[in-house]
Structures are given as C-alpha cells and as structure tokens.
Structure 1
Amino acid sequence: MIGFPFDNMRSRSFVIEPVVRTDAAQLAALHALTFRQHWSDDEFHALLVEDNVFGFIAREEGNPKAMAGGFIVARLVLDEAEILTIAVAPPAQRRGLGHALMDATLRHLHNVRASMLFLEVDELNAPALALYRRLGFKQVGKRPGYYETAAGRSTAFTMRRDLKACR
C-alpha cells in the first residue's frame, strides 16, 4: 500500500499545471495505484526528459506537496500527438479531473497546431470510453489482448481525434 494521504480527496480543489521532471516519482506512485502494469520512477523520468513529451498534473490547490489527484503524459511528433498515459487517483475520480487534464492537453495541442491526437483505452474502461467519446474521439482500431487484467487479457481500443476541425 502506498502511504499517501488520500483521505478526503473528494473534498479537495485541484489546479492543473504542467508536469516537470521532478514529478516522476509522484507520477509513478499514482500510476501504481491505477494500473495493473505500472511504470517506474525511472520510466517516467526517461519520458519527461524527452523534448517532445509533455504533460499536466492536477495538484491540490494551496498544497503543492500533497499527492496529485491525477496526471496526463503525451508525446508530440511533428503534428501528431499520442496520450501515453493518464491516471486519476481512485478517491478523486468522477470529479472532472480526467476531463480537465484532457482539456489542458487539447488546448496545448491547439496552440502548437497539432492535427490529430491518438490514445489507447481498455475496452472495459467504460468511464474513460465515455469521456473520450464526449471529447470527440472515434475508434480507429483494436489491439486484442493488449491489457492484462485480473480475469486475463482485454482489448485496447485505439482512438483518434482530428484537431484541425477545432481551429
């Protein structure tokens, strides 16, 4: 069990800020709480030092040292972007943090004139699928057996959103 203070997270207010390299350990800790196959501090650090990788983190307003409520990490290559991972702490879910993180990412991509955004999502993750569909993502592919689950393996849906139409 990770020893972060998640009690009363539902009553906290969060601000969305850019991810920085020193966030790697916190991203890894939160990733471990939300994913069966989670990434290490070193893996996050290796990503965050890349020039074309960016992200946003939901920090507790007025308490930047508190455990983050969520984060998103993405990569931009030429004019195409991919969400590498997004996580929201279980006690902070269903509060709009996922939408706020996606909104920050979409705004950033609009500002850098990206043309499309891709992501992969577990077919069993109904809340995430609903969010992505509300945000205009369309399924463009499948990866059978991509995710490891407690019951075996599940399919990843590859989704895309055209960003040029939003300009």
Structure 2
Amino acid sequence: MRLSNLADYAVVLMSAAARQCGSVPLHAALLAEQTGIPGPTAQKLVSSLARAGLLVASRGSGGGVRLARPAAAINVAEIIEAVEGPIALTACCDDGRHDCGFEGSCQVQPHFSVVNTAVRAALAEISLARLAVAPARAGHARESDPASARTPIAAPAFAGTMS
C-alpha cells in the first residue's frame, strides 16, 4: 500500500509546522523551503489542511498559519484524510461505491471493513507531536519520549510508502 505524494507531503508539511509552532509566523513559502515541497503544492496543502480544520490561517501583517490544535491532538489519519478523503483500502470499503465486478459473489468483502478500520486506527495512534520530534540515532532512544523507545520513526514521516 502506498500513500499518494500529496498525502506524504501533507504529513511532512504538518510535521514541519509542528516543529516551528509559535517560533515564527508560518507561511506556505517558508514551509516549502524547509521541507523541499514545491511552493504551489505547499500552498495547495496549506489550503486543504486549513479547510479540514488542522491549520488556522490569518491574513495581514504578522499573519500566516498555525496548528489548529496542539500537535499531540492531531494524528496521521486526520492529515491523510484532509487531502485524500476517507481512508478506504479497497473500493468496497468506500461507503456508497458499488462498482466492483465481484460485489455479489466476493467472500472477502464483508471482512475488508475490519482491515480498513484496523489500518485507520493504527494511523490514528500516531500523533503529529511524535512525528515532529527528531528521530533518535539507532540504539539511542530519547528518555523524554517513551514512545520513541517502543517504535522509532525515521524522517521524513512517510517517504511515500506505508508497510
């Protein structure tokens, strides 16, 4: 399973925003520069993330964007859904879609909702705060972050793939 580039970039952009939270006014151009995401794509993501209620934008002098909630209260599933829509591993997991040629005879379809729910729940367990912290070097867990001792996450957050 692979995240789209846009979903990947959204996670990376939000992680950068969380690291900068409160230190400087954030603008799409600054986030693009810090992350290497192309400027127009960063602007599109900022707009999508603001529409989804994950970022708050303000105009004028001293304006910019900021996280709508603390980074610990934002999770990876929300970020992905902000740019991709509801997480659906297969078409039959997407409510209202009935375009599968095997729909009437598939023995697995009734079980896909369990798999889909488990994947979404796993993504929802990963907070933006966790992704915003620099990863520990191999074998050196950070004492201040007990979660990192259990499952270290390498940066960037999701380099386009999910395992």
- Using structure 1 for the length normalisation, give the TM-score: 0.29
Name the one with the larger helix percent.
2
Name the one with the larger strand percent.
1
Q: Max radius of gyration: which structure?
A: 2
| Larger relative contact order (Cα-Cα within 8 Å, sequence gap ≥ 6) | 2
- Using structure 2 for the length normalisation, give the TM-score: 0.29
